[in-house]
Structures are given as C-alpha cells and as structure tokens.
Amino acid sequence: MARLKKFFAAVGLLRESPVGMIGVGLVLFWVVIALIVGFLPLRDPLAQSAGDLLKPALTLAKDGGHYWLGTDDRGRDILSRLFFGSRLVLFWSSLATIIAYSVGMLMGVTAGYRGGWWDEAISFIGNVFLAFPQMVLFIVILSQLGSDSPAGQWLARMGFSATWVKGTTIVLAVMFATAPQVARIVRGLVLDLKTRDYVAAAEVRGEGALYIMLVELLPNARGPLIVDACLRLGYVTIAIAALGFLGLGLPPPDPDWGKMIADVRGFGALAANAMIWPALAISSLVLGLNLMADGLREIALRD
C-alpha cells in the first residue's frame, strides 16, 4: 500500500513538467495499444489482398469497412500492421535495453568502486566495443550469426522459431553496442559517489564491496540513470527499427515498422502513404521517450 502511494507520488511529481507529461502520454499510448491490440477489431495484419495494393488512407475496403491508413504493397492493412507491430517494437526494444542496462550497470559499478585492476580491465573491454561504430558492429555480428550460422542452427534445433533466433541475436548485438556506454556512465557516477562520507561510514563498519556497490552506491545514482534509461530505450528502438529497415531485423512477415518502410520504397510516389505512417509511428514513440527523459531530468534537477 505504501509502495503504491509512493508510485502515485512519483507520477504526480511528473505532473510538474508539462513536457514530461506529453512524453508519458505518447509512450503510454503505444504501451496500451500493444497490450490491448488483440482485443481490438482490426484486420489480420498478415492478410494480403491482391486487389487493394498501396491504397491511400481512408479507402473503402471490400469488407465494408475502411482502410483507415491505407494498404501496403501486398494489400495488407497498414493500421493493423502498425498496431500489431507495436508489440514487437516495445517487446524487443525493452528486452534489449534491460539486458544491456543490467550488464552495463554491473560493469560500471565494479569498475568505478573497485578501481585498480578491475577498472583497467573493464574499461579496456568497454573501449574495444565502443571503438566500433554501432551499425558496423551490428552488421558484423548479424552477418555472421544469421539463421544459417552454427549458433542460429543450434537455437533452431532447440525449437526456437525464426523470430526468436533473430531476435536473440539482435538483443546480443544491442547488448555489445550499448552495455559499454552504460558502463561508462555508471562508472563516472560511481567514481563521484564513492567519495561521499556515507560510503566511508559503510567501510568503517566493515561492509563488503558488494553491499556497498548495490545498497549504498547504485540507489543514489538512480536519478541520472533513469533519465539515461529513457533516452537509451529510444536509441535502441531506433537501432532495431533501422535494422528492420535494412532487412537485418526480424524475419517476415512479422510487421516490423522499419521493414514496412523498406518494403514499399521501390514504388515511387505511390508508396508515399505507406511509408509515412510507420515513420510517424516510430518518431512518435521515440519522441515520447525523449520528452519523458527531459521531464524527468527537469524534476531531478529541482529535487
């Protein structure tokens, strides 16, 4: 009960920042859609309709209703593909970010607090991965770990669907690209925090390194880290959508937003409608995350 009250208090705090509220609104919109999409009266996102190719928005459909946002190059309803696609986007982006963040935090807090050899080793490993431009790293990893690679085949034999195989490799690639960045930020925060007297007080009463890192240090870094997490979720979403656009993302026919744009690119002006809606969808989600991060940053500064 007390926890619920604290949660509402935190949300209420957000009300102080109109920017943050808009951001939360946008993000919540997509989260809710993703959760309830199965219950909405939408057409099958995979159903192709040979007669209704690349129709613009608000076209009448054969089944009596409207194609509210038009159709794509195979006659599939764009609106339903967008909504169903939100599940994919939110799920994989969140999963990738959470994993990358967990690994990054552990790396950063160990490097920052333990210092010495730990710091050198972890920072070096981090620098190795940070030396790769992100997309290059993705291409390197994904080109070798595709479904035909030994790793992919092993996963397929275990019963994972193609989507999961690809998804796992994407999560791995994101982790390698993102965890070192998070580690660097956390390390910086910890280096600053560990000079505080309460850390010395914990040492002086004999606390172990793990306790100090997890209980004394990390909770006090939560302000900047929450802000960064929102931003990073945005970057990861963009990265995964870009992979989708390039065709390195989740396999068809799953409605990946990035792929939706790539699919219709070759059709010239006719494709304008089919391209714009996924682009708007992605932009709105990332905008929401960025605004949320900004709102949180304003509030944290005022605290």
Partner 1 sequence: MTQPVLECKNVSISYYTRAGEVPAVYDFNLTVNAGEAVGIVGESGCGKSTVALAIMQYLGRNGAVTSGEIIFLGRDMRKMSEQELRKIRGSQIAMVYQEPMASLNPSMRIRDQLIEVPMVHEGLDAKAAELRAIELLDAVRLPDPQRILNSYPHQLSGGQQQRVVIAMALLSKPKLLLLDEPTTALDVTVEAGVVDLIRDLAKKTGTAMIYISHNLGLILETCDRICVMYSGQAVELGNIAQVFNHMRHPYTYGLLQTLPLPTADRFARPLVPIRGQLPLPRERPTGCTFGPRCDYFKAGVCDLPQVMQSVARESTHEVRCARASEIKWKVPDKLGSTQKSAKIGPVVLQVKNLRKYYALKSGWGKPARVVKANEKIDFEARESETLAIVGESGCGKSTVARVLMGLDTATSGEVFINGNEIGQLPVKKRPPGLISNLQLVFQNPFETLNPSHSVGSQIGRTLKKFGVAKTQAEIEKRTGELLDLVKLPRAFADRKPRQLSGGQKQRIGIARAFGGNAAVVVADEPVSALDVSVQAAITGLLTDIQREHKTTIVFISHDLSVVRYLADRIVVMYLGHVMEQGTAIQVFAPPYHPYTEALLSAVPIADTSIVKKRIVLQGELPSAITLPTGCPFQTRCPRKIGAICEQQLPPVKQLAKGHSIMCHLPDDELQAMEPVFALKSELKTKSKKRSQASS
Partner 2 sequence: MLAIAARRLVSMLLIMFVISVLLFLFFEGDKLNLAARVLGPYSPMTGRLAWLEHNGYNRPLMTRYLTWIYGFMRGDWNQSAQFDAPVFDFLLPRLKNTAILGACVFVLTVAISLVLGVFSGIAEASKRDRAITVISVLTTSVPEFASATFLVAIFVYWLDWLPGSSSFNNGFSWREMILPVATLVIYNFGYYTRMTRASMAEVMNSQYIRTAVLKGLPYRQVIIRHALRNALIAPFTVMILQLNYLLSGVVVTEVFFAYDGYGKALYDAAMFGDVYLILAGAMIAVVAAVVSQFISDVGYTQLNPRIRFS
Q: Which residues 128-167 are close enough to bind partner 2 by CB under 8 A?
A: 128, 131-136, 139-140, 142-144, 148-150
Our CB check for partner 2 shows the closer of 170 and 291 to be: 291
Q: How far is the CB of 70 from partner 1 (least distance, A)?
A: 46
- The span of 68-76, 188-196, 218-226, 279-287 binding partner 2 (CB under 8 A) equals 279-287
DSSP string covering 17-56: -HHHHHHHHHHHHHHHHHHHGGGS----TT---TT-TT--
- For residues 249 and 170, the answer to whether their CB atoms sit within 8 Å is yes
Question: Could you say which of partner 1, partner 2, none residue 276 binds, taking C-beta under 5 to 8 angstroms by partner kind?
Answer: partner 2
Q: How far is the CB of 161 from partner 2 (least distance, A)?
A: 22
- The span of 62-70, 72-80, 204-212, 290-298 binding partner 2 (CB under 8 A) equals 290-298
- The span of 136-144, 159-167, 204-212, 243-251 binding partner 1 (CB under 8 A) equals 204-212
Determine, following the binding rule CB under 8 A, whether residue 12 of this chain makes contact with partner 1.
no
Amino acid at 15: R
Lay out the site mask for partner 2 across 223-252 (x = CB under 8 A, - = otherwise). -----------x---x--xx--xxxx----
Our CB check for partner 1 shows the closer of 73 and 207 to be: 207
Our CB check for partner 2 shows the closer of 199 and 231 to be: 231
- The span of 67-75, 128-136, 199-207, 263-271 binding partner 1 (CB under 8 A) equals 199-207
- Rounded to the nearest 5°, which phi and psi values hold at 151? -65, -45
In 3D space, the residue among 129, 88, 87, 112 whose CA is nearest the CA of residue 221 turns out to be: 112
Applying CB under 8 A, the residues found at the interface with partner 2 are: 124, 127-128, 131-136, 139-140, 142-144, 148-150, 234, 238, 241-242, 245-248, 258, 261-262, 265, 268-269, 272, 275-276, 279-280, 282-283, 286-287, 289-291, 294
Applying CB under 8 A, the residues found at the interface with partner 1 are: 196-198, 200-201, 203-208, 215-216, 219-220, 222, 302
